[in-house]
A and B are shown apart, each in its own frame.
Chain A
Amino acid sequence: MSFWFWHGLRKGIQSTRYPGRAENTPGISPGRPMNTDFSSAEEARLAAEICPSDAIVAHGKSTYVDHGKCVNCQLCLHSLPSPMNWEPGFEWTRLPANRTESFPLPSAFAKSTHIMVVDAGDCGACLHEVKQLNNPLYNMHRLGFFLTATPRTADLLLVVGPVSENMRGPLLKTWEAMPTSRKVMAVGSCAISGGVFGRSFMCACGVGSVLPVDFEVPGDPPPPLAILHGLLVVAGRKSLKSLEPVSEGRS
């Protein structure tokens, strides 16, 4: 079975160079809509109207997008006569609406961050993208991020899903069992706003309605590098690009 050894060696290093270098291989991110100025108020109104998750708000000729609500259905890209502008990239991590300042983990944790992942009613996409971070193309270990199975040793609670009622208890217990230096990161639109599921008798409208959230990674699902960017922000190794302006789009 030594061929596996050679097979692995022959393939060479395939990991992304991000965050040291920019990464723009095609297909790493679906992109997302961005605030767009249209030439008429009517076009802006149409954009707001087509959005099934009320993520687009129109003000005159301008539209604002709340990415925490956007479910990446791409109707505003493909089904409008004049589409919204679309931004590539993946550095999307932001603060929750009730925070104005970023508090990353203490610097002692920066080079070795242990992550506890909880699936709180996720559809499988966000969880799958988190899982991809372990594959050689992303290889988050090289950056000092480790998954842990116990909350006692975890620095970061990474939650996906809108928080289903049946998972509310286990999620809270996990959080309570963590050291108080813990940070909480909500990954994906469902975890931020409830997405297409919340709020109902069975779903909260995101992690923020159950726990204090420190960072949000919008996207449905956010691609692996967006989540990696979030991890780097939590570890204090990347700064939030610019604090997303609390625009009219954020209600």
Chain B
Amino acid sequence: MAAHSSPIAGDNTAGLIDLTAAVEERFGSEISRAPVGGGFVLTLALSQPDVLPALCKFLFWEHGCLFGGITTEEHAARWQMHYTFLLLGSGWIDLELSLPLETIVLPSIVAEVHAADWHEREIEDLFGIHFENHPRLGDFVLHDQIWHEGIDPMRKNFSASHPQLERKVDLDWQPLLVVGDPGSFAMPVGPIYEGGVGESLHFLLETVGEDVIRAAPRLFYNYRAVEKIAEGRTVGDALLLSERFAATSAFAHSLAFCLAAERIAAVDVPPRAAALRVLLAELERLRHHAGAIAAICESTALAVPASQAAIIEENLLRASCVFADHRYLFGLNTPGGLNRDFGSEQCNTLLVAVDEAESDLRILEKRLRLSSSFLDRLEDVGVVTGENARDLNLVGPIGRASAQHCDLRKACSYSGYGQLPFDVPCETEGDGYARLRVLFAEATQSAKLIHRVAGRLEEGLVRVSCELHRAGAALGWAEAPRGAALHWLRVDKTGVVERYRAITPSFNNWLGFHVAAENFAFQDFPIILATFGLSATECDR
């Protein structure tokens, strides 16, 4: 079941120089280079929006950059748009567009970069900016049956604390059916579904009877407007939000948030803090993957391994609690490092628990490989081809099961990952089984990393002061258990948040879910869902 490892090299300075030259040659008259900083290795200021589609296509398809996302802000009485791309091994590229607030129509880049689809829908819904030639705008974050058009909550003049209670539910509202094959009908599932405990989300399963033709997810039932309510709070209070909007990957998100704040303050955390952050982030990944494996076993109704994996997960939750006083690792990250230090005795206790979990997972994996009826249900189920994964820019274990090698820990190192030896397991089949193998292989790597880091902890401080006295903006990123997480932060000179943007792996990957959920039998639906292992609340924010 060994997964092979990724071929990405660590440093790609030459690639960045080539790319810069190529962009300037082709788009020289429409762009100018802005000073770099804020986490970007290249910032290009665009003089007008028309060049966007061609430029994005150039970066994404001709230069193999990955799409990071779009960040919109209303800053200094202008629109500031940031189209973010990642050049593997080098860093983040920012396409900056500054426009007067009267501009409410922009060219869509969806035809060139499909992965931008949901970003544009979100911006249209929350800022009221229209994207020309986008195939489908409207009903997205603000559900149309309760929110009437014309509300743009992310605009600065919209008060976040003002309850909108005068809304009326529109009983005639109908969801849009994308395809209507002859003889088919749509079966709604959700938002409250699953016999047990499920997140709130809704699916329209279009079916002709036995088989489902396609499944369209509808999200944002858990939308708590985290980006909006963060505005006006102090960085410390916004940190609580970044930690608590998606608790199953709380540490990774709070880490990315802190990295952004530290970048604004130009503070480097002490080596001991950086190393401990790696240890905690890997502990979270290990625990998350054990839980994801349990969910996959459960979806195939294989009770014993599902129970065993759930026990492994619970044991890791307990180990996290013993080690860090919180089962979900809340309250540890802070701008400038960690809130507290850990003694070597504590580390040793943790290592025992990690070893035990790792060996239990290995036994489980060996047995599962021999369970043919289990494998039958995973193999060739929910296939995402490499082309589709690239096209839709899928990230994390799902992307890596479909031959997308990107892992931010290697592709754009942070918190000292660049100096650590570890593999990024990849698979090519892109089916449910490949995703399961990637989860197992990554769990092993995480356990190794925890050992390595704990074995070589430098003495020293775990926190330095991180005062935010100057206005600024920066990007922070982390490879969360489900994939790349980007947190973009702008603060004013008193350390109050002006704009906070969280781009999460679930937001990214839900867009690709429909590719895996096409023409399948009803009973495979829970399996496809489980092998995707996405979180609705992480997407919704």
Contacts and interface: CB of A to CB of B under 8 A. Distances in A.
B322 A203 contact: no
A27 B319 CA distance: 6
A221 B195 CA distance: 22
B314 interface: yes
A82 B140 CA distance: 48
A46 interface: no
B156 to A, nearest CB: 14
A4 B221 CA distance: 38
A128 B169 CA distance: 31
Nearest to A29: B321
A1 interface: yes
B163, B367, B371, B373: residue with the most chain A Cβ atoms closer than 10 Å: B163
A30 interface: yes
Contacts of B320: 27
A125 B317 contact: no
B153 A52 contact: no
Contacts of A136: 307, 310-311
Nearest to B535: A124
A240 interface: no
Interface string B311-325: 101100111111001
Contacts of B226: 197
Contact of B236 (A25, A26, A52): A52
Given A30-B326, A128-B247, A4 B371 contact: yes
A170 B192 contact: yes
B246 A124 contact: yes
Contacts, number: 209
Interface of B is mostly: loop
A75 B332 CA distance: 9
Interface in A1-50: 1, 3-5, 7-8, 11, 14, 25-31
A199 B248 CA distance: 23
B40 interface: no
Contacts of B244: 71, 123, 125, 195-197, 220
A147 B327 CA distance: 24
Given A8-B304, A147-B195, A164-B221, A132 B229 contact: no
A74 B326 CA distance: 9
Contact of B200 (A27, A31, A120): A120
A78 interface: yes
Given A7-B304, A149-B195, A170-B191, A27 B222 contact: no
B160 A166 contact: no
A130 interface: yes
A133 to B, nearest CB: 9
Interface residues of A, number: 67
Given A4-B304, A197-B224, A124 B318 contact: no
Contacts of B153: 201-202
A166 B222 contact: yes
Nearest to B363: A7
B318 A27 contact: yes
A200 B229 contact: yes
B224 A203 contact: yes
Nearest to B332: A74
Nearest to B160: A200
Contact of B222 (A119, A132, A135, A223): A119
A164 B201 CA distance: 13
Nearest to B164: A201
A122 B222 contact: yes
Interface in A134-193: 134-137, 147-149, 161-162, 164-167, 169-170, 174
Interface residues on B, range: 35 or more
B334 to A, nearest CB: 9
A72 interface: yes
A131 interface: yes
B225 A200 contact: yes
B241 interface: yes
Interface string A52-84: 110000000000000000011111011100000
Contacts of A161: 222
B538 A223 contact: no
A178 B317 CA distance: 34
A132 B314 contact: yes
Contacts of B370: 1, 3
B240 interface: yes
Nearest to B162: A201
B331 to A, nearest CB: 4
A110 interface: no
Contacts of B222: 119, 121-122, 161, 164, 166-167
B330 A72 contact: yes
Contact of A73 (B159, B247, B330): B330
Contacts of B373: 1
Given A30-B321, A134-B196, A167 B191 contact: yes
Contact of A137 (B225, B248, B314, B367): B314
A123 B537 CA distance: 6
A156 to B, nearest CB: 14
Contacts of B221: 121, 164, 166-167, 170
Interface of B: 143, 146, 153, 158-164, 169, 191-200, 220-226, 228-229, 236-237, 240-241, 244-248, 250, 291, 294, 302-305, 307-308, 310-311, 313-314, 317-322, 325-328, 330-331, 339-340, 367, 370-373, 535, 537-538
15 contacts: A4-B302, A8-B304, A26-B322, A78-B340, A121-B537, A124-B247, A147-B196, A162-B224, A166-B146, A166-B221, A166-B222, A167-B221, A169-B146, A201-B153, A201-B160
Interface of A: 1, 3-5, 7-8, 11, 14, 25-31, 52-53, 71-75, 77-79, 117-125, 127-132, 134-137, 147-149, 161-162, 164-167, 169-170, 174, 195-197, 199-203, 220-221, 223
Given A30-B327, A135-B310, A166-B143, 11 more contacts: A3-B367, A27-B327, A31-B325, A74-B330, A117-B196, A119-B192, A128-B248, A135-B313, A164-B222, A165-B223, A200-B228
